[in-house]
Chains A and B, each alone.
Chain A
Amino acid sequence: MGREASITRIIGPENYARLQHFKCLIVGAGGIGSELLKDCILMGFGEIHIVDLDTIDLSNLNRQFLFRQKDIKQPKSTTAVKAVQHFSNSKLIPYQGNVMDTKQFPLHWFSQFDIFLNGLDNLAARRYVNKISQFLKKPLIESGTSGFDGYIQPILPGITECFDCTKKETPKTFPVCTIRSTPSQPIHCIVWAKNFLFNQLFTSDQSPTAGDSDDNDWGTDDKEEISRIKQETNELHDLQQVVHRQDKAHITDILKKLFIKDIEKLLQLDNLWKSRAKPVPLSESLIESTRYDHDSTDLSAVWGLEKQINQFIRVTGKLMDRISQEQYNIEFDKDDQDTLIFVATAANIRSHIFGIPIKTVFDIKQIAGNIIPAIATTNAIVAGLSTLTSLRLLNLLPYDKASSGLDVNMAFTARASNLSKDRYLSNPKLAPPNCNCAVCSKVARGVIKITIQGLEKLTLSQFIEMLKKQYGYPSETSLIDTSDQRLLVDFDFEDLLNRTLSQAKLRDGSVILFSDEEGDEREMYKQPLELYLDVVEDNAAALEVELPSLQIALFKPQKQDEKEEQEMTKEKSPANEENKNGIVILDEEENRGEKDNTATKRPRSPDQTLQDTKKAKTSKSSEYAEDIIELD
């Protein structure tokens, strides 16, 4: 009996032979990815490719069991593959890179795989791999964990819901006035210290009024308060000059401005304090009497006010020393201790003033750095479920009763997430595609194979005519490059019509959206068509352009106001959000290097209502994680 004894007793020798010819792609070599790699090898996949952009960090080692202390700073993908050699019988190919990089990973590279297994930590990459799976009509198993919570969602394009069929939660936001005038929780002070104060003092390109534009969500109509906030921002710009001059003698001026003068001004706005406890400014003598302190510090202890102040002074001085060497631009990084302690002490001093509990640096690191707890066990469970389900999606289970993709089960950790007492896992069957999903239902999707020569010869006008003819679109259409939402052609923009595709900056990996802008006599429109340009080598046999054969459905557009409402609910990227309307948010992608964690946003399921109950049950220790979990 060889190593294949177990698997052949389960799936039979014929299916085992098929499995040995299957190629799978594991996206991510972090917590879930390491586990997936091990499970897929032991199960007997013939060939496994694994992609990860990241390098190994100390905090990975509690769960990413293929990595050791000596591997820190090494690439995850290649290190993982080295670590499994002793038990692997599969062909293994690692890549260090971003799976969304179309140069390194063009569509035809993805097309070699029979199945994709996700072990990702961020929304953008999840969406991207989902889209690739939709373009190629290949199965994907999506998964994620956050602390004790984990889920898997198998996706069969065209048959089941895709990743984007359910709305994903957007980052938690706070009105400006809560952050700037009336904080009531530690997180408000941390956001103030990190997103406002730190950036104003140490980051370049902080125009005096950044974030204070008039279409902000101020959370108040009080004109006096809004004008105070704007003035305060201007004054902070002066403090940045103190920092840039490396004028350490005046660090106490920063303290006095932030924690005495600004608070006194706030106190003058009587309206704010009618139903709130008034803040108490620091005393000048306390600031003056505080001495520098170079003692080693325990980051997991709660510091007294005096220690907060002297650490603030110490670390501000250190950041001043650094700023001229760092092009007058220091970014907050949770693993950069100076920036972390600055944010923590500033937040805590502000908390003290407003009668809010003080936090340890350890706790503040989690909130400011958007750290999601992660453990080996949940990752192992989720990867095991994902690997088992891959057998099902590849039709390798001889006794499987599933007659269609809709009989396949997703799963999530019902008991660990306090959703059930008598089921360790919940395993609802998959749902059909959401008919309103902009990714899998509302657009037709296909891949155009085009030669390099075709790209250089064909004009946009010729190209559009080809599309109209092939798919029966009316005369008025539009064409957009979706990578940067760049309009290429529509009824009143025809400047580029005579440019070739390559002149119009279309290239391998470009995704274009072709839309009907006219409709027919019954006001029915052809569905928009999203096309991936797959550039192939010139050769005598290949056609210059090969259009996919597709049936394009008709639809009746929604009325304008409904549409707007839908736009409102669409996910906005956090970066834009801040610029656009000044809502202060925690960054989504703060925790670089922490690549395997993700929030557990389960797809729609019969237990959906239970999930709301669960939120209410969140225990104290995970309270902040919960706020931050919503990010992904």
Chain B
Amino acid sequence: MEPSSITSERLSKDEIDLYDRQIRLWGMAAQARMRSAKVLLIGLGSLGTEICKNVVLSGLGHLTILDDTLVQEEDLGSQFFISGGDVDSLKLDSAQSRIQDLNPRVELSFDTQSMESKTSDFYKGFDLVIGTELSTKQMTMLNELTRKYNIPIYLAGSNGLFAYIFVDLIQFDAEDEKLKGSQPTEKGQISTNTEVIEVRTRHDEDDDKKVFEVIKTRHYYKSFQQMIKTASLKGRLNRRQTKRLSSVLPLTLALLQTEDEIGKLNSRKLKEKAVVTCLQLGIPETVLDDTYVEQFTRQEGVQFAPVSAVIGGSIAQDVINILGKRQPPLNNFIVFDGITLDMPIFEF
């Protein structure tokens, strides 16, 4: 993935002053690369609002937001770009000046058409797509298009206190540095979807005794459809890891897999579905806790501001990392439990 134009034009003094505290983290070059990126955000709900805030503040080049919904009364409890007086107006109409106000340097487009009305050409021009709170059908369709045009995609949704992130960067090379230890890093596969393809050493410019390994890793991804159909942990967990598994993974996947019945699900039905998911995952169905089944049934599709802050922060950070080409990206399914703050990453 390359940003549309590799303009490493120098940052202006004003930009350096404004972005000072983050340039000190990821450097001028990454900041300049972000400025040339073009991103599409689908859905300005609670998660979309958080993602939008974070990427606009960070100094992204262009952001297009696609959302055709009207402001509902209940949106006021989880979103901060809208206000009581905006109920029943188009959400983007209400939110756009507040979003632009966050960072006048970012070029914004607001699109109030529906996702379904878009032709596949619409997606072509973006360097990256983020879809929030979409249905399984929409996510599957969207991911097919992003694969067709070789565009990285992040998908996320929440169920009250619980949430997930799915990432498909198709194939992505990342570079990372670490202090050289006694065991040199070797080339080869290091996890299900990742391999080390190159290792160089670099001496610290201030202290010659400090030696770093510059490690290039290649990350492989699956499509959303493939991931929910084939996700498995068979033979990959030891006893301790199995014990740490919570209900959140199978319940989240079960909801994604049985979407047609959403709204009609009671906790007994959800549990039945989740038992099947456990079977697919190769994990014991004793992982399923009845109180969690009940919570998922009650909280299905509920957007909750502090959960959105955690998930929106995590996605935006990963987007910034891959645009700036710093740090290896997420791969590929993350679930969050807002009670215990458990947030495991699964490579499916």
Q: Interface of A with B (CB < 8 Å)? A: 1-7, 9-10, 35, 38-39, 42-44, 58-59, 61-63, 65, 68, 84, 86-87, 89, 147-148, 184-186, 299-300, 356-357, 362, 366, 371-381, 383-385, 387-389, 392, 397, 399-401, 409, 411, 415-416, 418, 421-425, 427, 594, 597, 616-623, 625
Closest to B213 in A: A617
Decide: A621 near B27, CB < 8 A? Known: A1-B72, A9-B298, A62-B59: yes
Q: Do residues A10 and B206 form an inter-chain contact, with CB atoms below 8 A?
A: no
- Residues on B with beta carbons closer than 8 Å to the beta carbon of A380: 50, 53-54, 309-310, 312-313, 316
What is the minimal beta-carbon distance from A390 to any residue of chain B, in angstroms? 9
- Residues on A with beta carbons closer than 8 Å to the beta carbon of B74: 1-3, 5-6
What is the minimal beta-carbon distance from A598 to any residue of chain B, in angstroms? 13
Is B291 part of the binding interface, using a Cβ–Cβ cutoff of 8 Å? yes
Q: Do residues B19 and A148 form an inter-chain contact, with CB atoms below 8 A?
A: no
Is B341 part of the binding interface, using a Cβ–Cβ cutoff of 8 Å? yes
Is B303 part of the binding interface, using a Cβ–Cβ cutoff of 8 Å? yes
Q: Do residues B314 and A381 form an inter-chain contact, with CB atoms below 8 A?
A: yes
Decide: A388 near B338, CB < 8 A? Known: A39-B305, A399-B295: yes
Q: Do residues B24 and A427 form an inter-chain contact, with CB atoms below 8 A?
A: no
Is B181 part of the binding interface, using a Cβ–Cβ cutoff of 8 Å? yes
Q: Do residues A619 and B177 form an inter-chain contact, with CB atoms below 8 A?
A: yes
Is B227 part of the binding interface, using a Cβ–Cβ cutoff of 8 Å? no
Q: How far is the CA of A61 from the CA of B336 in the complex (A)?
A: 29
- Residues on A with beta carbons closer than 8 Å to the beta carbon of B20: 59, 62, 371
- Residues on B with beta carbons closer than 8 Å to the beta carbon of A6: 74, 77-78, 160, 302-304
User: Mask for B321-348, Cβ within 8 A of A = 1, else 0?
Assistant: 0000001001000101011111111110
Q: How far is the CA of A598 from the CA of B33 in the complex (A)?
A: 28
Which residue, B177, B314, B347, has most C-beta atoms of chain A within 10 A?
B314
A384 contact from B26, B82, B303, B308, Cβ within 8 A: B308
Closest 7 CB pairs of A and B: A384-B309, A42-B305, A380-B313, A373-B25, A381-B313, A5-B74, A3-B77
A63 contact from B21, B72, B334, Cβ within 8 A: B21
- Residues on B with beta carbons closer than 8 Å to the beta carbon of A300: 16, 28
For the complex with contacts A58-B18, A65-B102, A424-B336, 10 further pairs of A-B residues with Cβ separation under 8 Å are: A59-B17, A62-B19, A147-B25, A378-B317, A388-B338, A388-B339, A399-B292, A399-B294, A421-B191, A622-B25
- Residues on A with beta carbons closer than 8 Å to the beta carbon of B272: none
What is the minimal beta-carbon distance from A369 to any residue of chain B, in angstroms? 10
Q: Do residues A375 and B21 form an inter-chain contact, with CB atoms below 8 A?
A: yes
- Residues on A with beta carbons closer than 8 Å to the beta carbon of B53: 65, 376, 380
Closest to A64 in B: B57
Is B88 part of the binding interface, using a Cβ–Cβ cutoff of 8 Å? no
What is the minimal beta-carbon distance from A558 to any residue of chain B, in angstroms? 38
- Residues on B with beta carbons closer than 8 Å to the beta carbon of A186: 206
User: Mask for B9-22, Cβ within 8 A of A = 1, else 0?
Assistant: 00000001111111
Is B205 part of the binding interface, using a Cβ–Cβ cutoff of 8 Å? yes
- Residues on A with beta carbons closer than 8 Å to the beta carbon of B16: 299-300, 362
Is B179 part of the binding interface, using a Cβ–Cβ cutoff of 8 Å? yes
- Residues on B with beta carbons closer than 8 Å to the beta carbon of A383: 306, 309
Q: Do residues A373 and B24 form an inter-chain contact, with CB atoms below 8 A?
A: yes
What is the minimal beta-carbon distance from B300 to any residue of chain A, in angstroms? 9
Which residue, A68, A357, A620, has most C-beta atoms of chain B within 10 A?
A620
- Residues on A with beta carbons closer than 8 Å to the beta carbon of B18: 58-59, 61-62
Closest to A423 in B: B344
Q: Which residues of B in the span 32-55 have a Cβ within 8 Å of any Cβ on A?
A: 50, 53-54
- Residues on A with beta carbons closer than 8 Å to the beta carbon of B22: 62-63, 373-375
Q: How far is the CA of A61 from the CA of B53 in the complex (A)?
A: 12
- Residues on B with beta carbons closer than 8 Å to the beta carbon of A9: 160, 298-299, 302
Closest to A619 in B: B177
Can you give 16 contacting A-B residue pairs, CB < 8 Å? A39-B309, A43-B304, A58-B17, A148-B25, A373-B22, A377-B320, A380-B316, A381-B309, A383-B306, A385-B310, A416-B327, A422-B346, A423-B345, A618-B179, A619-B178, A620-B202
Is B109 part of the binding interface, using a Cβ–Cβ cutoff of 8 Å? no
Q: Do residues B57 and A63 form an inter-chain contact, with CB atoms below 8 A?
A: yes
Is B83 part of the binding interface, using a Cβ–Cβ cutoff of 8 Å? yes
A425 contact from B25, B101, B306, B342, Cβ within 8 A: B342
Q: Do residues B161 and A388 form an inter-chain contact, with CB atoms below 8 A?
A: yes
Closest to A186 in B: B206
Closest to B176 in A: A619
Is B287 part of the binding interface, using a Cβ–Cβ cutoff of 8 Å? no
Is B132 part of the binding interface, using a Cβ–Cβ cutoff of 8 Å? no
What is the minimal beta-carbon distance from B314 to any residue of chain A, in angstroms? 6
Is B204 part of the binding interface, using a Cβ–Cβ cutoff of 8 Å? yes
Is B259 part of the binding interface, using a Cβ–Cβ cutoff of 8 Å? no
Which residue, B101, B310, B341, has most C-beta atoms of chain A within 10 A?
B341
Q: Do residues A44 and B24 form an inter-chain contact, with CB atoms below 8 A?
A: no
Q: Do residues A1 and B73 form an inter-chain contact, with CB atoms below 8 A?
A: yes
B343 contact from A362, A375, A427, Cβ within 8 A: A427
Q: Do residues B340 and A427 form an inter-chain contact, with CB atoms below 8 A?
A: yes
Q: How far is the CA of A617 from the CA of B178 in the complex (A)?
A: 5
Q: Do residues A620 and B212 form an inter-chain contact, with CB atoms below 8 A?
A: yes
Is B277 part of the binding interface, using a Cβ–Cβ cutoff of 8 Å? no
Decide: A388 near B341, CB < 8 A? Known: A62-B19, A618-B179: yes
Decide: A371 near B21, CB < 8 A? Known: A1-B74, A362-B16, A618-B179: yes
What is the minimal beta-carbon distance from B248 to any residue of chain A, in angstroms? 12
Closest to B309 in A: A384
Q: How far is the CA of A196 from the CA of B206 in the complex (A)?
A: 22
Is B307 part of the binding interface, using a Cβ–Cβ cutoff of 8 Å? yes
What is the minimal beta-carbon distance from B203 to any residue of chain A, in angstroms? 10
Q: Do residues B314 and A377 form an inter-chain contact, with CB atoms below 8 A?
A: yes
Is B149 part of the binding interface, using a Cβ–Cβ cutoff of 8 Å? no
Decide: A623 near B204, CB < 8 A? Known: A424-B334, A427-B343: yes
What is the minimal beta-carbon distance from B255 to any residue of chain A, in angstroms? 15
Q: How far is the CA of A587 from the CA of B316 in the complex (A)?
A: 33
Closest to A418 in B: B178
- Residues on B with beta carbons closer than 8 Å to the beta carbon of A594: 21
Closest to B338 in A: A388
- Residues on B with beta carbons closer than 8 Å to the beta carbon of A58: 17-18
Q: Do residues B204 and A3 form an inter-chain contact, with CB atoms below 8 A?
A: no
Q: How far is the CA of A39 from the CA of B54 in the complex (A)?
A: 15
Which residue, B16, B82, B212, B340, has most C-beta atoms of chain A within 10 A?
B340
Q: Do residues A387 and B77 form an inter-chain contact, with CB atoms below 8 A?
A: no
Is B121 part of the binding interface, using a Cβ–Cβ cutoff of 8 Å? no
What is the minimal beta-carbon distance from B22 to any residue of chain A, in angstroms? 5
